[in-house]
Amino acid sequence: MTGTDQTQSPVPHVRCGVVPPYLLERLATVDDPRFEAAAEAARRSLRLDGPIRNLRVERRTGVLPTPRVRAVPGHPTRTISDAGQLQQLPGRTVRTEGQGPVADVAVNEAYSGLGDTHGLYWSRYQRDSIDGRGLPLDATVHYGRNYDNAFWDGERMVFGDGDGEVFNRFTVSLSVIAHELTHGVTQYSANLAYQGQSGALNESVSDVFGALVEQYAAGHDAQSASWLIGAGLFTEQVQGQALRSMKAPGTAYDDDVLGTDPQPASMDGYIETDDDHGGVHLNSGIPNRAFYLVAEAIGGNAWEAAGQIWYDTLTGPNLTATADFAAFAAATATAASIRYGTGSAEHDAVLAGWDGVGLGFDPLQAAS
């Protein structure tokens, strides 16, 4: 491996949930008989998430763990477990690599989603699993009672079943599965600190590759893709398409219960807050929009040139763990220049994309 993949040793002890805490907090306060079960489920989910959320910003030292089993390069090793609505991990093993589908749709969705994510990283970026060294992919479904989230805990994917009133089961969305697994890729590469702008970049990178895995699996190019993160998570009772829109941050939902999607689409709307580790789920809309603009300008399949530039940036030597938006933008421009050439269409698209969200910079400095 190259760049930060080769040299990074501190590993964050993380638990990164796909549903922002501000959304669950809003739902937890709803006083509406129609959503009584959903409000209680949100309160339970917040109590469950709360004690661990602060651990995201901590570090534990030591070398990266060695894979338990060295898989055949390029082939995933998946294990799906069932928590049986308890909060004990990993749960009972219900499907392992090479076994056929089972009766439980959540098990099959998790198994397929892990495979689709592994498939994109290997086929397009030659990355062998999350750590680049064939790490087995583990997941647990049916975690907790009506748990309204899915998370990567530093070792495995964990999926709740949702409350059935606002949220469906969390295995239903491939972009969610790939988003959470990409937190693991970030953990083993740039290790972006989960605070402020570096934390928003951590979230954005997960959204980027969550969208790319979904597009790759469906064969959708940049023009035809939805650019939604978490499509299908909301029930029909919610006025909304998804948790987030990369194409148009701030438009994913507009609901009388959940409120309006608060994500800004440019630096003009940047949100200064102490909540959610400095607004990591809010301000991630800005780099999300920048990536969409880059992919749109380049055209074709977003997982090719645009995705390659972002992957090179995440795993290369020019990104520090505390990078802010400006530093990340400059690093993507450098990555585009190295791979495609300064002044290439890809390099110009990167410069224009960041300029489109209010983060323009000197292209000569970015290429140096």
Q: Looking at residue 16, what is its pLDDT? A: 76
Please state which CATH class domain 4-187 belongs to: alpha beta
pLDDT higher than 70, residue 14: no
Query: Is 179 annotated as catalytic?
Result: no
Q: 298-337: per-residue pLDDT in tens?
A: 999 999 999 999 999 999 999 999 999 999 999 999 999 9
Q: Where in the chain is the domain with CATH 3.10.170.10?
A: 4-187
Contact call for residues 334 and 366 (beta carbons, < 8 A):
yes
Average pLDDT over residues 150-174: 95
pLDDT band at 69 (very low <50, low <70, confident <90, very high): low
Q: Looking at residue 55, what is its pLDDT? A: 42
Determine the longest span between alpha carbons in the chain, in angstroms.
Answer: 60
Q: Looking at residue 39, what is its pLDDT? A: 93
pLDDT higher than 50, residue 161: yes
Superfamily of domain 196-367: Neutral Protease Domain 2 (1.10.390.10)
Q: 75-109: per-residue pLDDT in tens?
A: 999 999 999 999 999 999 999 999 999 999 999 99
Cα gap 357→55, rounded to integer Å:
31
Joined together, the tokens standing for residue 42 give 């949100």
Average pLDDT over residues 338-366: 89
Q: 239-277: per-residue pLDDT in tens?
A: 999 999 999 999 999 999 999 999 999 999 999 999 999
Cα gap 108→113, rounded to integer Å:
8
Q: 191-202: per-residue pLDDT in tens?
A: 999 999 999 999
Helices 305-315 and 105-125, packing angle to 10 deg? 90
Phi, then psi, of 339 in degrees rounded to 5: -80, -40
Q: Where in the chain is the domain with CATH 1.10.390.10?
A: 196-367
Query: Is 281 annotated as catalytic?
Result: yes
Q: Identify which of 237, 274, 245 has the alpha carbon closest to the alpha carbon of residue 262.
A: 245
Phi, then psi, of 96 in degrees rounded to 5: -125, 170
**pLDDT mean across residues, the chain:** 90
pLDDT higher than 50, residue 58: no
Average pLDDT over residues 151-176: 95
| Among 118, 277, 281, 347, the one annotated catalytic | 281
| Among 118, 142, 165, 180, the one annotated catalytic | 180
pLDDT band at 72 (very low <50, low <70, confident <90, very high): confident
Worst-scoring range by mean pLDDT, 21-30, 48-57, 306-315, 353-362?
48-57
pLDDT higher than 60, residue 32: yes
Q: 100-150: per-residue pLDDT in tens?
A: 999 999 999 999 999 999 999 999 999 999 999 999 999 999 999 999 999
Q: 270-302: per-residue pLDDT in tens?
A: 999 999 999 999 999 999 999 999 999 999 999
Average pLDDT over residues 37-41: 92
